[in-house]
Amino acid sequence: METIYPVILAVPEKKRQLTGKDKVLSLSKHARQALAISAGKSCVHLSNLLKDKKGAPLPFNGNYWSLTHKPDYAGGVVAPTRIGIDIEKIRQCSEALFSKTAGEKEWSLVNTDPIKLFFRYWTSKESVLKAVGAGLKDLSKCIITKVVDEDNLFIAYKEKEWLVEHFYFDGHIASVTKNSFNIKWSLVME
């Protein structure tokens, strides 16, 4: 089984203090640093990282890539097939987001901490949507079909099933589309 290497990088305190466009540009650059580490672990040479008209990453030399960033962490991953990664801080959120994110049948698949489950579902669906180059408008079209365990679940999206793996760290969750890959997470604290 082939291995892919999602990388999560802590954002340095100095960069966390930035605001507006400076912050967005800094976080994007930091996510690309995570991507470069992921590529290095996979022995892939990064070339021009281009996006389509919708902002979805375009493959390079047969490699696909995905980025994510939040104020405290950024992430990136390279893979030989479509790939998606997402990070969120686990925190309280509105009830309205619960119903927007998943239906009753999905919520009934497992009895666990609802906030943690919400972010498992949210980051999983976001990673699938990133992998296919779709936007959040298709969130309700991603359906959680099976929760395997604390770290894995299946999502159906447009007649394809996706296996997603989770990684928990420092009050955050990261999710990556796993499918048939072995996953080796790296958390780099600077």
Task: Please report the domains of the chain, with CATH numbers, ordered by start residue.
Answer: 3-188 (3.90.470.20)
Residues in Cβ contact with 49 at an 8 Å cutoff, skipping those fewer than 6 apart? 32, 35, 57, 60, 65
Q: Which alpha helices (H) appear in 2-110, and where do they start and end? A: 13-16, 20-41, 95-101, 104-107
- What's the mean pLDDT when you consider all of the chain? 94
Q: Which helix (H) or strand (E) holds 121?
A: helix 114-132
Residue 176 has pLDDT above 80, yes or no: yes
Instruction: Give me the pLDDT at residue 19, please.
Output: 93
Looking at the chain, the whole-number percentage of residues with pLDDT higher than 70 is 100
pLDDT value at position 119? 97
- As a dihedral over the C-alpha atoms of residue 173, residue 176, residue 179, residue 180, rounded to 10 degrees, the angle is -100
**pLDDT value at residue 20:** 94
Closest-CA residue to 2 (of 79, 83, 63) = 79
Predicted confidence band of residue 10 (pLDDT cuts 50, 70, 90) = very high
pLDDT at 11: 96
Examine the pLDDT at 146 and tell me if it is beyond 90: yes
Which residues, 6 or more positions from 58, have their beta carbon under 8 angstroms from its beta carbon?
Answer: 50, 51, 52
Question: Bigger pLDDT: 136 or 129?
Answer: 129
Model confidence pLDDT, tens digit, residues 96-112 = 888 889 989 999 999 99
Is pLDDT at 190 greater than 90 in this prediction?
Answer: no
Q: 59: which residues sit within 8 A by CB, 6+ positions away? A: 65
**What's the confidence (pLDDT) of residue 55?**
86
pLDDT per residue as tens digits for the range 24-48:
999 999 999 999 999 999 999 998 8
DSSP state, residue 106: H
Q: Could you give the CA distance from residue 64 to residue 175 in angstroms, rounded to a whole number?
A: 16
- Please give the Cα distance from 117 to 176 (Å, whole number): 16
Q: What is the pLDDT of residues 46-81, one digit of tens each?
A: 988 999 988 889 999 999 999 999 999 999 999 999
